Structure 1
Amino acid sequence: MVITAAVTAVPDGSAPASVVDLAGRVARSCLARARVSASSIGVLVNVGVYREHNTFEPAMAALVQKEVGINLDYIADPDPAAGFSFDLMNGACGVLNAVQVGHALLETGSTERVLITAADVHPGGDADRDTGYPYADLAGAFLLERSADPGAGFGPVRHYTADLPTDVEGYLDTDAMGRHGRAAITVRREPGHGERLREFAARAVTDYAEETGVDLDRTLVIGPSAAQAEGGGEPHTAAPVLGYLRAMDGVRRDDYDQLLFVTVGAGPSAACAVYRPEGW
């Protein structure tokens, strides 16, 4: 299974940021880059966490599917079939969770293409206005397909957990929210949590390399701190997409045999997956 196209996007500033608008925009751009139609997408997986107005229902994936126009009707779009969409929420590790699900769907022939969207926006619509909120308003998308190249694509996705109390969490403080609560969010991160997560990510990479036989000397690691989002703020669920695009833009292919995605977040939990682009 390979990445056919990858795209990121930030709000254009003309209106408060919207998850549905931003995820829909990267989805359409991703399909345009791959030169495929929305009707060719069998499954959409949305992994974003933070949304405008702290919306939890309905599933954002269904709204993104409607925004993009992916096979909305069994009768009007009988071929291949009405599209299926769902949210998969696991914070910073969500994209790699979706890659694992996508691999299973493509392997069984349930669909020909899987589209992953990852979009986070501040509940108030502008992350720059909240100095206590660490993440950027950012969206990313991967389009996944089967490859005829047996040496290309994703290897196994592995998940790791640490026997430690979580030191980062985002929640709505109902005692302090007041009448503007739907536009606010509290993100609590203990001092030193960044260094602890980086150490945990490094252990996960070492364990993954030992389990799968990956030669780290010939591997470009795309880690949780691989890229800073435009306009400041940290990329959250879209970080793997942003890191992949920047790695592919600057990598010298003679120097590496493959890429290694590593994500780490609340839990603490981490995920790793090796990837070899087509033509490498």
Structure 2
Amino acid sequence: MGTIIRAASATVPQAVRTSDIRLAAEAAQDCLDQAGLAPQAVGVLVNVGVYRENNALEPAMAALVQKEVGISLDYTVDRSPGLSFDLMNGACGVLNAVQVAQALLGSGSTERVLVTAADVHPGGNARLDPGYPYADLGAALLLERCADGGSGFGPVRAYSARGTSGTTGYVSLAGGTGEERGQITVHHEEGWAERLLDLAADSVDGYVREEGLALDRTLLVCNRPAPGFPEELAGRLGMAPAAVVAPEVADAGAGEPHTAAPVLSYLQAVRDGLPDGYDELLFVTAGAGPSVTCVRYRPQDR
């Protein structure tokens, strides 16, 4: 029994001011439309977005996304319970959610898990804050059980390194202007990108050896936590630059994808089908901690 990606989607803001809930819900609804499924077909929704409009902390954003999509809102009508919860681990959140989904789907407690990832500047528009590094984006993955045990995700493995986090995001309360709910500060320590690159290269090397992957037949799907990261990672691993796929940046002023990055990279990698010569994908996400998460993925048609 495997866990496969039934549908994937990414969304961008359509207005001057946007919200993480709206972007996540739009991506989730698009996944359902692609699969031809009603919202009640989803048993569990996991939301992994970090940065939120107005720095909202509660209730769980997952519950609000669930409501927006219309997943099991009335048990007396739908006769199907719907569970939703937030899982926050920055850039690695989507792959952590895949691990949770594997456990839920493997137990037979649900047939489908919907993973949503959306980050929005607390002020509602990332372009108005030049110091904020992330783009306003939403994404979703619809995961489901597959009888073919050779297809789908392999084991998810997480790696970390000693030392300070490298990246921190916080709200500064100094001055007490009353505008803090619309502000955020993201700080990168000196040398953090090099530390993260070291950890990513070591992690991929370890995962490849543990899982017996043929790296020359594997397409690496990663995020872009720092400029040049995918290209430098390819060099460290002895891979051709074309074998490492990272989110394309259409607008340099909009910032980089954050929690949504793995979904965007996946969509880019399989846009025209997996290229000839590649049997599977290796998802790699790197972020604060410093931490790296890896998981292999074999599409059903390979």
Give the TM-score range, shorter chain.
Answer: over 0.9
Counterparts of 1:195-234 in structure 2, within 5 Å, are 195-225=194-224, 226-231=246-251, 232-234=254-256
Which residues of structure 2 form unaligned runs of 5+? 225-245
Question: What is the alpha-carbon distance in structure 2 between the residues aligned to residue 166 and residue 272 of structure 1?
Answer: 19
Q: Deviations over 1:167-223 (max 9, x none)?
A: 211011111452211000000012332232222111110011111111111110011
Judge conservation of contact 1:7–1:241 (CA < 8 Å) in 2: yes
Judge conservation of contact 1:263–1:270 (CA < 8 Å) in 2: yes
Residue 113 of structure 1, CA deviation: 0.5
Question: What is the alpha-carbon distance in structure 2 between the residues aligned to residue 202 and residue 173 of structure 1?
Answer: 34
Q: Deviations over 1:242-261 (max 9, x none)?
A: 00000112565321111000
Answer yes or no: is 1:273 the counterpart of 2:295: yes
Which residue number in structure 1 is paired with residue 284 of structure 2?
262
Judge conservation of contact 1:138–1:229 (CA < 8 Å) in 2: no
Of 169-178 and 100-109, more deviation after overlay is shown by 169-178
CA RMSD in angstroms, aligned pairs only: 1.3
User: Normalising to structure 1: TM-score of the pair?
Assistant: 0.96
Answer yes or no: is 1:61 the counterpart of 2:81: no
Residue 106 of structure 1, CA deviation: 0.4
Structure 2 CA distance for partners of 1:268 and 1:75, relative to 1, 3 Å: same
Letter aligned with residue 135 of structure 2: A
Q: Secondary structure at the match of 2:14?
A: coil
Report how many residues are paired.
277
Letter aligned with residue 106 of structure 1: L
Q: Secondary structure at the match of 1:178?
A: coil
Structure 2 CA distance for partners of 1:169 and 1:177, relative to 1, 3 Å: farther
Counterparts of 1:1-280 in structure 2, within 5 Å, are 1-13=3-15, 15-78=16-79, 81-176=80-175, 178-225=177-224, 226-231=246-251, 232-249=254-271, 252-280=274-302
Q: Deviations over 1:52-96 (max 9, x none)?
A: 000000000000000000001221211xx1211000000000000
Judge conservation of contact 1:219–1:257 (CA < 8 Å) in 2: yes
Q: Deviations over 1:106-130 (max 9, x none)?
A: 0001100000000000000000110
Residue 229 of structure 1, CA deviation: 4.2
Structure 2 CA distance for partners of 1:77 and 1:84, relative to 1, 3 Å: same
Question: What is the alpha-carbon distance in structure 2 between the residues aligned to residue 251 and residue 37 of structure 1?
Answer: 26
Which residues of structure 1 form unaligned runs of 5+? none
Question: What is the alpha-carbon distance in structure 2 between the residues aligned to residue 56 and residue 97 of structure 1?
Answer: 20
Q: Deviations over 1:152-178 (max 9, x none)?
A: 100000000101211211011111452
Letter aligned with residue 234 of structure 1: E
Question: What is the alpha-carbon distance in structure 2 between the residues aligned to residue 208 and residue 146 of structure 1?
Answer: 24
Question: What is the alpha-carbon distance in structure 1 between the residues aligned to residue 43 and residue 203 of structure 2?
Answer: 32
Q: Deviations over 1:20-61 (max 9, x none)?
A: 111111110110011111011000000000000000000000
Question: What is the alpha-carbon distance in structure 1 between the residues aligned to residue 176 and residue 10 of structure 2?
Answer: 32
